[in-house]
A = this chain, B = another copy of it.
Amino acid sequence: MRKAPTVYDVAQRAGVSIATVSRVLRRPDDVREHTRTVVHAAIQELGYVPSGAARGLAARQTGVLGLCFPDVDGIDELDDLPDPVRIGESVEVVRDVGGPVTARWSNLYLGEVMRGAELEAWRTGHAVMIGVARGLRRAEAVNELAGRVDGLAVLSRSVPDDLLGHIARRVPVVVMAGPPQDDEHDHIFVDNRAGTRALVEHLVSDHGIRDLAFVGGPVDSPDDHQRFAGFVDALQAAGIRAPDEPVARSDFTRGGARDLAHRMVGRRGQPGGALPRALVCSNDQTALGFLDVLTEAGVDVPGDVVLTGFDGIDDTQTSAPRITTVRQPMVELGRAAVELLRSRLADPSAPAATVNLPVRVLLRESCGCR
């Protein structure tokens, strides 16, 4: 690692010019076989690896696509820096008393999106660079990321609008998920609304349920908003009076949902406190929290109350009963983002596109199926 060899070194060693070395690597067919062999030998002997920076500069494109995520670790200030890695300490033996399984949904979610993006990028010979918009210097970090890539896929709201606008003047930007927005960027959505609508239509049509309530999430969640809209769509289509608001709102966590469920179950005896025939929850965690409490209270699911979620996390598959839900196409989200980026790079002048990713309704026991 003294000093990395360059084309010049290789050229000299092979007794050719640097142009030939470059050609051997980029357009091998333009070079005679013999020359190629000689150059390759030199490359091996010297341990030559082309500089991506130089190549990117000369070729005017880096071959890298960026992926920008919000921080899921909650480390937003320099003060919050985690402890350094422990190295060489001895094994620790601890009694694990249990407690909630740590919420890995976000991580898994992001992991899947990345996987999809990487896969799609790999198909076209692109590399992927990831960046997490976190901390005080986030703007800087995002800027640097933008400076290093040919295109940037950004998870909704991980980057402030103004910054995004600034960056978009240099590289194509596609925004994943988030609220419908009419800006200059390409957008890609998961079809929350159609998914919920299809799910609710199933409850109404196939199970004959007409007494449904929607348990929402945080008011500022665009996903929640869309899902509620889908709920309303389905009811109206069935001629059922739709509410203006969710019957209640949880915070999208299982624990929060439990508290909420406790309150609702506690009101059962009171006038107007009866549980609806079906509870359509805005996400899986909420449905799981409700399931916990309902089961505990002796309310049969789906016998007494039908329960559904949204997201398709693993836990809905192992609960009893298994929960009917709508699966988020996470891998596809990543793939579609890269695909969109690619088509944008191919035709920079095309009008901003909006892609709606189809979801999949998974019918399981909690809605009364089977």
Residues of A within 8 A of B (CB): 1, 4, 44, 46-57, 62-64, 73, 75, 81-82, 84-96, 98, 101, 104, 107-108, 110-112, 114-115, 118-120, 122-123, 125, 127-132, 134-135, 137, 141, 143-149, 166-172, 191, 194-195, 197-199, 202, 314, 317-318, 322, 332, 335-336, 339, 348, 355-364, 369-370
A166 touching B47, Cβ below 8 Å: yes
B127 touching A148, Cβ below 8 Å: yes
A-B CB contact pairs (8 Å), 17 listed: A49-B170, A52-B148, A53-B148, A57-B57, A63-B144, A64-B148, A85-B336, A85-B339, A85-B357, A86-B358, A87-B357, A88-B356, A91-B191, A91-B195, A93-B198, A98-B322, A128-B130
Q: What's the Cα separation between A145 and B363 when bound, in Å?
A: 43
Least CB distance from A106 to B in Å reads 10
Known contacts A47-B169, A122-B141, A128-B131; 4 further A-B pairs (Cβ under 8 A): A1-B172, A87-B357, A88-B355, A108-B108
Least CB distance from A164 to B in Å reads 11
Known contacts A148-B53, A355-B87; A122/B132 CB under 8 A = yes
Least CB distance from A308 to B in Å reads 12
Contacts of A90 in B (CB 8 A): 194, 358
Least CB distance from A22 to B in Å reads 13
For chain A, what secondary structure do more than half of its interface residues adopt (helix, strand, loop), or is it mixed? mixed
Q: What's the Cα separation between A128 and B147 when bound, in Å?
A: 14
Q: What's the Cα separation between A75 and B356 when bound, in Å?
A: 27
Contacts of A332 in B (CB 8 A): 85-86
Number of copies of chain A assembled together: 2
Least CB distance from A211 to B in Å reads 21
A358 touching B92, Cβ below 8 Å: yes
State the 7 A-B residue pairs at the shortest beta-carbon distance, nearest first. Answer: A47-B169, A111-B111, A52-B148, A53-B56, A96-B362, A52-B147, A49-B170
B96 touching A363, Cβ below 8 Å: yes
Contacts of A107 in B (CB 8 A): 108, 111-112, 115
A170 touching B4, Cβ below 8 Å: yes
Contacts of A88 in B (CB 8 A): 355-356, 358
Contacts of A125 in B (CB 8 A): 137, 141
Contact partner, A119, options B73, B98, B149, B322, Cβ 8 Å: B73
Contacts of A197 in B (CB 8 A): 91
Q: What's the Cα separation between A135 and B63 when bound, in Å?
A: 18
A98 touching B62, Cβ below 8 Å: no
Known contacts A4-B170, A127-B148, A147-B52; A73/B108 CB under 8 A = no
Known contacts A47-B170, A107-B115, A148-B127; A91/B57 CB under 8 A = no
A166 touching B49, Cβ below 8 Å: yes
